[in-house]
Homo-oligomer: A and B are copies of this chain.
């Protein structure tokens, strides 16, 4: 397929590479053009504007940091919306608000485009390896049409129904689950450490019994070893995502105290200057709160 791929951050660059590997034709756009260099060498055309990336594409695939970035590449004067062909599909993989997903859905419908929300779970290494989990929502036929792209970037696609914004709600809910798990690890590890018990033995207990899941293996290791300096997923992004979860919950009148708690933990991390560290830094924050060294 002819794909306009917009957004070459840590995640996007891996996904675009997978799409190239799968034989698709890519016009890529990134605000900071230098991020596109490696993809150009692998055959991608580098577009100067979102509009140029979108023109002539069957699918516009966006993977950006937040609502503001998505709004810009879609709605700006040189944005994708006006350039997309009739019937073209916008696949939005960014973790954006439920509200913006609704707005995009309406804008594209009015313009004669199709729209699928397809945010992903997984860290940058999973993106580069095509091992993401894709959460898709939109018209069944449209999802079927872009399924080969999901197969290129992901190991499995979960269909959440016809309303695109449902995928975004599921994504922010899943991220909330992740934050809650990390915060729980952070607090229990702080307790275990301060008691002088071996935190790795505790981690091994968890991950070989009831908590034998990737999230506990990954973050259990990162927290046990205090490895929060290589940011697969920064505090800044995590804080944005927990804010999205709280906003979505508030608009549906669902109290989520554990989300508020994660929010406050990430704000504390920022106050300590950890905004660019991996979200695993919650382990450091909890240890510091307990007066114990990681």
Contacts and interface: CB of A to CB of B under 8 A. Distances in A.
A68 interface: no
A272 to B, nearest CB: 6
A85 interface: no
Contacts of A195: 166, 169, 248, 252
Interface in A167-212: 169-170, 173-174, 176-178, 180-181, 183-185, 187-188, 190-192, 194-198, 201-202, 204-206, 208-212
A257 interface: yes
A105 to B, nearest CB: 15
A76 interface: no
A214 interface: yes
B256 A205 contact: no
B257 A271 contact: no
A198 B160 contact: yes
Contacts of A190: 254, 256
The bracket for how many chain A residues form the interface is: 35 or more
A140 interface: no
Contacts of A121: 209-210
Nearest to A239: B250
Contact of A173 (B191, B252, B260): B191
A70 to B, nearest CB: 20
B271 A289 contact: yes
B156 A209 contact: yes
Interface of A: 121, 133, 135, 156, 158-161, 166, 169-170, 173-174, 176-178, 180-181, 183-185, 187-188, 190-192, 194-198, 201-202, 204-206, 208-216, 239, 243, 245-246, 248-250, 252-261, 263-265, 267-268, 270-273, 289-292
